[in-house]
Amino acid sequence: MDNEKGKLYGIELPECKKYYMKKNHAELKELVRQKYGEIAQSDKEKNQSTCCGSGCCSFEVNDIMNEDYSGLKGYNQEADLGLGCGLPTQFAKIRPGDVVIDLGSGAGNDCFVARAETGDTGKVIGIDCTREMIKRARQNADKLGFRNVEFRQGDIEDLPLADNMADVIISNCVLNLVPDKNAAFSEIFRVLKPGGHFSISDVVLEGELPDPLKEAAELYIGCIAGALPVSEYLETISSAGFKNITVQKKKAIHIPEEFLVKFMPSESARDFGVEGMGIFSITVFGEKQVESCCEPGCCR
């Protein structure tokens, strides 16, 4: 892809190239913090004019992934930056009194929806790596007068949370940004109580992306830059120890043909995404089961 093609879609190609040339996890995460720090100071309309609100390395197509929260109890428009790819709170089976953790909590959108489910007797904790997002989320919580919703700055690969404390963990289009997904799901397992569960919306791949599109796919910061094949994604969850893993919702992400034809012949662009090949948003559920004891003298 050349710079002229990049300019057609508002892409600052040199910076984006630099992003993907980085191999060091720490450098990669720092770039994500910087980008989402900028997003935290923007509004939903500006974010939705990019894929996943990425700003850099994006093309101007509205609502390519984001779903409509407006019908959900607890929805707060000021906290919705248009960054998600699903509605994990809708599937999370949150009960009154639950402790809920939101990973990559942004301005607090999913936290406030979760709070409507867990009620005054529960607690919601949002975790985000970006200082600016934490500040904005806390401001939103203060405006709403919530005293059982808090926000902590932290790394999903090393959560600032105690073992076995959460009933439910949610996340919306964030784990694709995490370099070490094995560490992330291990942390989710550690923090959940035995018998607890998660519901996570994220971006995955099916099939092999055409070679001309692989470079273009790298331009989707915050969307499919770090997405795994769905089989590998589900295996990562299983390897962390989770059971009853279920895909609760699956939605194809349709990349506009006018974008694809910049990287491949028009007939290939028209065929992209057929027969199950392409980019998808999934909402996936998994449980941390209660350990059973079968040793003599263990159960009393």
**Is 294 inside any structural domain?**
no
Residue 122 belongs to a domain with what CATH number?
3.40.50.150
**Is 48 inside any structural domain?**
yes
pLDDT tens-digit profile, the chain (300 residues): 333 333 322 333 334 333 343 346 665 665 566 666 566 566 655 554 444 444 433 433 334 677 888 889 999 988 888 888 899 999 999 999 999 999 999 999 999 999 999 999 999 999 998 999 999 999 999 999 999 999 999 999 999 999 999 999 999 989 988 888 999 999 999 999 999 999 999 989 887 766 666 655 444 444 554 678 899 999 999 999 999 999 999 998 877 777 777 777 777 777 776 655 678 899 999 999 998 755 555 554
**Is 292 inside any structural domain?**
no
Burial class of 291 by CB neighbour count within 10 A (0 to 12, 13 to 18, 19+): exposed
**Is 299 inside any structural domain?**
no
Q: What total number of domains does the chain contain? A: 1
**Is 224 inside any structural domain?**
yes
Closest alpha carbon to 99 in 126, 131, 135, 139: 126
Buried b (16+ CB within 10 A) or exposed e, 106-136: bbbbbbbbbbebbeeebbbbbbbbbebbbbb
* pTM to 2 decimal places: 0.80
- Asked if 92 contacts 199 with a C-beta cutoff of 8 angstroms, the reply is yes
**Is 297 inside any structural domain?**
no
**Which structural domain range is residue 216 located in?**
3-287
CA-CA distance, 152 to 140, in Å (whole number)? Answer: 14
Neighbours of 274 (CB within 10 A): 9
**Is 300 inside any structural domain?**
no
Q: Which two tokens stand for residue 147?
A: 């005293």
